[in-house]
Amino acid sequence: MLSRQTRPDKCGKMIVGLMSTALGLIKAAKDTYGEEIFPKEAQMLIVSTLKAIPRHDKLYPTEKETGQILNIDASGKTVAETERALVEASRQMQEQLAAQGMGNFTPNVEIKFPVAVQSKEKTFHYLPYNFAQSRFEKDILEGILTIKDFRERELEIYYNGEKDITDFRIECFKKNNKSWFKVGKYTPDFLLLERKDKEISRVLIIETKGSGFADQPGFINRREFVEKEFIPLNNNKFGYRKFEYLYLTDSEDFEKNLNEVGKAIREFMSEPPAVAGGLKR
């Protein structure tokens, strides 16, 4: 079994930021559908339910990378500072070996950390993420972390798909004549965030679906509510296009999916805070 690690500073930042976003839509949602569609105390991580899990190949980051992240966190250094320290330590070791006549020996020192470790401040509010039910989700996250626009804009992305450890869920409804009835709760897979002055300015909800799940009637109803009701309701509440929704399936070419994410980042995250002439959908 593998223990699960919380990262308190990251979790606190995440919860506070999202709550300042979510609370604003409560009253409007309640007025429209007769009850709240988003709980006031929603959290992306319920620490008490974070349990140990079996080791398997769909954990991300890997056990080694998780250890590296925790060690760097504990050191108080940045990833870049840690890499520079390793380079210096390697240089000193080679000088010592050269002085002993072993200058051709190259120490096996890891100097460049993998993408997961490089991205630790932009994801992983707990460690590791468990993608046991979907390798596609794991692959998408790994791919997004390498997207140029994601990295250069210093965006953040968090996995929200483990239903047992999050209550960041949307109560969904479907209209029948003049009445609305519940069609279940929707748990977004990923939340890709942009911050301005440390506050969340935009949220891209990313949903990933594998073959055989996309056509389920329950999911279709919830997806329709999120796209046609929840997103516009939020955007109108805040007065600008603060939320957007992106749907990806594993039936599409993987590179095409990543290109769609990159396109959404460039178009959605580049809009001015207030969109003249109304919201664009």
207, 235: one domain: yes
Cα 226 to chain center, whole Å? 18
Q: Do the domain assignments include residue 280?
A: no
49, 99: one domain: no
> In sequence order, what are the residues at sequence separation of 6 or more whose Cβ sits closer than 8 angstroms to the Cβ of residue 219?
209, 213
Predicted TM-score (pTM) of the model is 0.81
Nearest to 89 by CA among 76, 105, 103, 108: 108
Nearest to 204 by CA among 191, 215, 216: 191
Position 101 pLDDT exceeds 60:
yes
Q: Do the domain assignments include residue 281?
A: no
Residue 152: its H or E element: helix 148-152
- Give the best-scoring range by mean pLDDT among 6-10, 27-31, 213-217: 213-217
149, 264: one domain: yes
Q: What is the mean pLDDT of residues 78-99?
A: 83
Q: Do the domain assignments include residue 14?
A: yes
152, 239: one domain: yes
How many distinct structural domains can be found in the chain? 2
20, 155: one domain: yes
pLDDT tens digits, one per residue of 220-279? 999 999 999 889 888 888 888 989 999 999 999 999 999 999 999 999 987 765 543 333
Q: Do the domain assignments include residue 223?
A: yes
Q: Do the domain assignments include residue 278?
A: no
159, 91: one domain: no
Q: Do the domain assignments include residue 121?
A: no
240, 257: one domain: yes
Separation CA 101–CA 44 (nearest Å): 56
205, 236: one domain: yes
What local confidence, expressed as pLDDT, does residue 169 receive? 81
Q: Do the domain assignments include residue 279?
A: no
Nearest to 28 by CA among 237, 200, 184, 214: 237
Cβ 165 vs Cβ 50: under 8 Å: yes
pLDDT tens digits, one per residue of 33-88? 554 444 444 555 666 667 788 888 999 999 999 999 999 998 999 999 998 888 88
Query: Can you give the residue range of the structural domain that contains 12?
Result: 5-61+132-268
What local confidence, expressed as pLDDT, does residue 25 receive? 39
19, 147: one domain: yes
Tokens standing for 227?
């796209």
What local confidence, expressed as pLDDT, does residue 94 receive? 77
240, 143: one domain: yes
Tokens standing for 3?
């223990």
What local confidence, expressed as pLDDT, does residue 18 receive? 39
Q: What is the mean pLDDT of residues 148-166?
A: 90
Cis peptide bond upstream of 128, omega within 30 = yes
The DSSP code for 56 is -
149, 70: one domain: no
pLDDT tens digits, one per residue of 172-203? 888 888 788 888 888 889 999 998 888 888 99
185, 55: one domain: yes
Backbone angles phi, psi at 194, to 5 degrees: -115, 140
Q: Do the domain assignments include residue 189?
A: yes
